[in-house]
Structure 1
Amino acid sequence: MPSDNHSRRPSARSLIDRFGYPHLLAGTLVLVTATILLGVAAKATGSGLACEANWPQCDAGPFNLLPANLPSFYEWFHRFVAMFAGFAIIGSAVAAWRSPTVDKRVTALVVLGMVLTPIQVVLGWQTVTQYTMDILSWHFWTAVLIFGLFVVATVLVWENRLGPRHVTGALALGAVSVPFHVLFSPPVITDVTEYSPTVQMVQYGVTLAVVAAAIVAPMVGRRRLENDRLSSYLTGTGVFAIVVVFLGRRTGMTLDPMIDSLYLGTAGLLFVAFIAGIVLTKRAS
């Protein structure tokens, strides 16, 4: 006859039960961010065609699964982290789909991210086997789209804990990031030094910060500030920020002085818009 102690023994709980879905989603966002920045490092160091252009294998160790040199390590480590990010994306989507407590909007966002993940994997494979600028661009923007989807989903699951100060914080993050985005952009940094891998890592890091600020500020502001005009302003600033990010990306791919001038002008206006948003938010709250 089974003992009462055995029947009362707690069963193993899932990670969702232990840490909660918001933490799972936040962790997935961190992995997605790390994957993007490691991809930038691989591209900036010219490691995209390392591993002897093998995929998913590399160029050393059993079955050529390990890197043989430093360039191969950059590419291999990018793939290694991307694998865990992919598992986290799938896990987040499955957990949201199966949980009745997760907002349906969140479920739709993370499931879309899961659908885009194999497309991103195929694009990553194509960057190794072909490495054309068009494929590289699609690979980057698909990654940014997945990043944006998970930022939106993360804000939705944490929205009850976010308030006006988080709107101000997001706008401040954007205001701080824009000057660095310009400073480390090809039209500016090449007048001082080379557009090195470290410089590219920093610029793309602040690029993701600008994108995050453009999403968080209007989403939280619409819910917490209860000011339609200010909400519209924050939304417009967010859209404008995406335009600046797009132009900033173009400056690294073209040698068109008109694109460079347009980027620098719009970046300056975006900085002013972020600062004005901080002032308006503080007044409204």
Structure 2
Amino acid sequence: MSTNSQTSRPVVRPLIERFGFPHLLAVTLVMVAATILLGIAAKATGSGLACQANWPQCDAGPYNLFPANLPSFYEWFHRFVAMFAGFAIIGTAIAAVRLPDVDRRVAGLVVAGLVLTPIQVVLGRETVTTYTMDILGLHFWTAISIFVVFTVATVLVWAPRLTADHVTGALVVGAVALPAHVVISPTVISDVTTYGPSMQMFQYGVTLVILASVIVATIIGRRRFDERRLTAFLSATAVLALAVAYLGRQAVNPAFETLYAVGAGLLFVAFLAGVGLTRRASRTSRTPASR
């Protein structure tokens, strides 16, 4: 009896074949960003210890698996989303290692994000069981590191579809987002009651947008432009953006207010200059599709 050669293949194709690795990576990045912002909400509402210092459990329901009130819901929901973000990171790392057509640089970045994830989980537990500002800071910056790693990996995967216009567009986004970052920062909003949970979530959301914009501009700029001074300028802008993100978090301390204001001003000038330089480079030179 003859058999069809296709019967040896699974009836249901693996999810990664139908969904695509670039989309899986992009979804994972979104989940990482959502986890960060929900963590900010939990901190800003004072909900970090609302589960009665239980971890990973909360303070209600069978085995304390569910929240008992609104504050504990914030912390519980943050952990809930973080759990699925962790699953997404694991799945993305497995796919990156096993798929033959995934760039090894991308695979290395995703695996680095996977390595950072259990560290972040442990730090998350410590923010509940041993709450200190140092642990809280490490927890935040480890999350930002995971976000940056996955943003770089995502941009590298989507890079063949991105053009020089996307570099200019990313810099425009950064130039628009930065003033909002300053206006809603503790440097301008000195009233603690005004700088509430919504403001903090919005500001940190803007922080992620700024970091993503400079990563896009730097990586795609290196692929689309040949001028070394321009690519070096874009790299320096990315470093300055990281410094401003750090100073923005420290700006609740008056000692950092001036540094943050100066850094933000320099970054805004860099964004505007970058827009002009990349537009001119796009008009005056024809660059290869990729390197």
TM-score, with structure 1 as normaliser: 0.95
Question: What's the secondary structure of 2:71's corresponding residue?
Answer: helix
Specify which of 248, 257, 260 is matched with residue 257 of structure 2: 260
Cα distance between partner residues in 2 of 1:106 and 1:271: 30
Aligned residues: 282
Cα distance between partner residues in 1 of 2:51 and 2:26: 31
Change (3 A) 1:219 1:7: closer
In structure 2, the partner of 1:245 is 245
Cα distance between partner residues in 2 of 1:214 and 1:6: 46
Question: Is residue 271 of structure 2 the alignment partner of residue 278 of structure 1?
Answer: no
In structure 2, the partner of 1:41 is 41
In structure 2, the partner of 1:172 is 172
Cα distance between partner residues in 1 of 2:50 and 2:2: 59
Q: Deviations over 1:85-139 (max 9, x none)?
A: 0000011111111111100000000001000000000000000112210000000
Cα distance between partner residues in 1 of 2:188 and 2:254: 13
In structure 1, the partner of 2:208 is 208
In structure 1, list runs of 5 or more residues that go unmatched: none
Question: Is residue 229 of structure 2 the alignment partner of residue 229 of structure 1?
Answer: yes
Letter of the aligned partner of 2:263 in structure 1? T
Contact 1:174 1:214 in 2 (8 A): yes
Cα distance between partner residues in 2 of 1:152 and 1:197: 28
Cα distance between partner residues in 1 of 2:173 and 2:161: 19
Contact 1:177 1:206 in 2 (8 A): yes
Cα distance between partner residues in 2 of 1:10 and 1:48: 45
Q: Deviations over 1:160-185 (max 9, x none)?
A: 00111110111011111111111111
In structure 2, the partner of 1:158 is 158
Identity of aligned residues (%): 66
Contact 1:214 1:242 in 2 (8 A): no
In structure 2, list runs of 5 or more residues that go unmatched: 283-291
Task: Using the TM superposition, give the Cα deviation of residue 15 of structure 1 relative to its aligned residue in structure 2, in angstroms.
Answer: 1.4
Cα distance between partner residues in 1 of 2:51 and 2:94: 33
TM-score, with structure 2 as normaliser: 0.93
Cα distance between partner residues in 1 of 2:187 and 2:132: 23
Cα distance between partner residues in 2 of 1:6 and 1:148: 41
In structure 2, the partner of 1:99 is 99
Task: Using the TM superposition, give the Cα deviation of residue 8 of structure 1 relative to its aligned residue in structure 2, in angstroms.
Answer: 8.3
Contact 1:244 1:267 in 2 (8 A): yes
Cα distance between partner residues in 1 of 2:121 and 2:205: 21
Contact 1:168 1:281 in 2 (8 A): yes
**Higher mean C-alpha displacement, 183-192 vs 111-120:** 183-192
Question: What's the secondary structure of 1:27's corresponding residue?
Answer: helix
Cα distance between partner residues in 1 of 2:193 and 2:278: 38
Task: Using the TM superposition, give the Cα deviation of residue 7 of structure 1 relative to its aligned residue in structure 2, in angstroms.
Answer: 3.6
Cα distance between partner residues in 2 of 1:89 and 1:194: 36
Cα distance between partner residues in 2 of 1:38 and 1:56: 16
